[in-house]
Amino acid sequence: MAELSFPPGFVFGAGTAAFQIEGATRADGRGPSVWDAFCAEPGRVEGGDTGEPACDHYRRWPQDVELLRRLGVDSYRFSVSWPRVLPTGAGAVNRAGLDFYSRLVDGLLAAGIEPAVTLYHWDLPQALEDGGGWRARETAHRFAEYAAVVAEALADRVPRWTTLNEPWCSAFLGYGNGVHAPGVRSGTPALAAAHHLLLGHGLALGALRAAGVREAGITLNLDQVYPATPDDEGAALRARTQRNLVWTEPLLRGRYPAAEADTWGELIERQDFRRDGDLAVIAAPMDFLGVNYYTPATVRTAPHREPDPARRDATDNRFAHVRDPRARHTAMDWAVAPDTLRELLVGLREEYGPALPPLFVTENGSAEDDVPGPDGVVHDADRTAYLEGHLRAVAGALAAGVDVRGYYVWSLLDNFEWTYGYGKRFGVVHVDYATQRRTPKDSYHWYREFVSRHSARS
Ligand code: GBH
């Protein structure tokens, strides 16, 4: 394959999230999160899997830093567990929890790896959920206070900060179809949650600035949407509105999308949770926008229906997903179409122009049916091809003039894949959960070589 070109300073990384890898859910004063409670409810997570043991990263982190060092990545994206730092979401700081991240940051820096912190990757302290969770406006303020605590401890050593990971999932899977914790099924509360997440982002951004953080942003899961037929353009607009514009418009333009009424109808008329002045907080300038990308969406027109937890896409209103029979599908049954990432990135640039901050692809990767070979190693050619294709798409976006600053593979390790439990494996490193043995897959070695060829640093 022809060599791809990345600008000097382009960041190659790998990512994880606290609840998915740490385990040790009761260690050193950590409080319960909504995901602990959700996992404990029968039927919510496949196989009855929970946050234990995950990758026992809380205790085995030095080994994981070593895996990152050998991988040769410039940066490691991880999330801080809010209930480790503030066991009930507010009030007294749990020093032991905060110290864990401080040690991790020091370990990364000693290994020559730049830490990139995400403050919220879905593990809301259960005590805050008991007070309404993201349906409650106060949660946005608690989030900013938590951001201030973490920033005070780590801002001297962590250059890049992300407030929220994929607020769409928190709002619409958490409070829309209930597929994610806290498992609430509803309409208006999901929209209120979306607004309070955005407000929390804006307030947290202020807290990060006050602590001296210079590089701060948010990570969104943005969909590249295609109409199944020319008659489905309306459905495609609704999908873009519900999945993308409800985030990018307030963040980048300080307004909610014009097509909202068409897409959510009467729900949006009850938006008393939106107050004057909120949008100015939400639209505070960011230094980067993180984009998580896995698969495109092909959609058709569908009738209005109430949320239905039997459907994973149940939050979608008046559009439905169509399976592309020509594409390869991963173990998640997600279509593989790498070039759609280039189209998404170029489209963002076309849509927002100079209002678009520099971009990072903060997650990209695939779950495959990994089976270790007789040599004990997972020979995951499909994952390697997936990663290579998407890195090519990023290079294509760069060549088209889009300011993309970095790319993070999801994920460093096989981990707790939310509703799917441990059955779905996204890692470039295989984890045997029974023994906690880590074994790099072929894709790890491939990525190591790719990074060493393309990173200006190496
Ligand atoms: C990310 O979520 C998470 O940040 C990460 O924790 C997780 O492990 C990883 O991806 C892999 O799942 O809803 O049927 O229309 C990704 C969540 C997946 C949400 C794709 C939107 C579109 C398919 N996104 N999904 S559908």
Is the shortest distance between the CB of 17 and ligand 1 below 6 Å? yes
Going from the Cα of 408 to the center of ligand 1, the distance in angstroms, rounded, reads 15
* Residue 166 annotated to the active site: yes
Distance CA 280, CA 273 (A): 15
Which residue in 114, 249, 260, 363 is the catalytic one?
363
pLDDT digits (tens, 9 = 90+) for 221-230: 999 999 999 9
> What percent of the chain is modeled with pLDDT above 70?
96
Is the shortest distance between the CB of 292 and ligand 1 below 6 Å? yes
Is the shortest distance between the CB of 177 and ligand 1 below 6 Å? no
Is the shortest distance between the CB of 343 and ligand 1 below 6 Å? no
Distance CA 445, CA 371 (A): 17
Residue among 170, 173, 177, 294 to mutate when testing ligand 1 (max atoms within 8 A of CB): 294
Q: Whose CA is nearest to atom 15 of ligand 1?
A: 313
Q: How remote is the C-alpha of 354 from its chain's centroid?
A: 24
Token pair of 345, please? Answer: 């990135």
**In this predicted structure, which of 135-139, 152-156, 303-307, 451-455 has the lowest mean pLDDT?**
303-307
Distance CA 191, CA 198 (A): 11
Strand arrangement, sheet containing 297-301: 225-227, 297-301, 319-321
* Residue 41 annotated to the active site: no
Strands (E), 158-241: 160-165, 215-221, 225-227
**Closest atom of ligand 1 to CA, residue 295:** 20
Residue 458 has pLDDT above 70, yes or no: no
Q: What's the pLDDT score for residue 304?
A: 74
pLDDT digits (tens, 9 = 90+) for 230-281: 999 999 999 999 999 999 999 999 999 988 877 777 677 667 899 999 999 9
**Closest atom of ligand 1 to CA, residue 17:** 6
Can you name the residues that pair with 145 across neighbouring β-strands? Answer: none
pLDDT digits (tens, 9 = 90+) for 287-343: 999 999 999 999 999 887 665 545 544 466 789 899 999 999 999 999 999 999 999
Q: How confident is the model at residue 106 (pLDDT cuts 50, 70, 90)?
A: very high
- DSSP codes of every residue in 205-217: HHHHHHTT--EEE
Q: What's the pLDDT score for residue 314?
A: 47
Identify which of 173, 16, 164 has the alpha carbon closest to the alpha carbon of residue 82: 164
Residue with tokens 């991988």, as numbered in its chain: 71
**In this predicted structure, which of 169-178, 330-339, 366-375 has the lowest mean pLDDT?**
169-178
- Quote ipTM for the complex: 0.94
**Closest atom of ligand 1 to CA, residue 332:** 12
Instruction: Evaluate whether 128 touches 182 at the Cβ level (below 8 Å).
Output: no
Is the shortest distance between the CB of 320 and ligand 1 below 6 Å? no
**Closest atom of ligand 1 to CA, residue 312:** 14
Residue among 162, 361, 410 to mutate when testing ligand 1 (max atoms within 8 A of CB): 410
Going from the Cα of 276 to the center of ligand 1, the distance in angstroms, rounded, reads 32
Going from the Cα of 106 to the center of ligand 1, the distance in angstroms, rounded, reads 30
Q: What's the pLDDT score for residue 313?
A: 47
**Closest atom of ligand 1 to CA, residue 165:** 4
Residue type present at position 72: G
Mean pLDDT of the chain: 95
Q: Whose CA is nearest to atom 14 of ligand 1?
A: 313
Residue 352 has pLDDT above 80, yes or no: yes
Is the shortest distance between the CB of 162 and ligand 1 below 6 Å? no
Radius of gyration of the chain (CA): 21
Residue 237 backbone phi and psi in degrees, to 5? -65, -40
Q: What's the pLDDT score for residue 307?
A: 55
Residue 359 backbone phi and psi in degrees, to 5? -105, 150
Identify which of 188, 361, 199, 356 has the alpha carbon closest to the alpha carbon of residue 269: 188
Is the shortest distance between the CB of 165 and ligand 1 below 6 Å? yes
Residue 191 has pLDDT above 80, yes or no: yes
Distance CA 236, CA 242 (A): 10
The answer to whether the predicted template modeling score (pTM) of the entire model surpasses 0.95 is yes
Is the shortest distance between the CB of 169 and ligand 1 below 6 Å? yes
Instruction: Evaluate whether 165 touches 79 at the Cβ level (below 8 Å).
Output: yes
Which residue in 114, 166, 249, 260 is the catalytic one?
166
Residue type present at position 114: E
CB atoms within 10 A of CB 446: 18
Is the shortest distance between the CB of 316 and ligand 1 below 6 Å? no
**Closest atom of ligand 1 to CA, residue 219:** 4
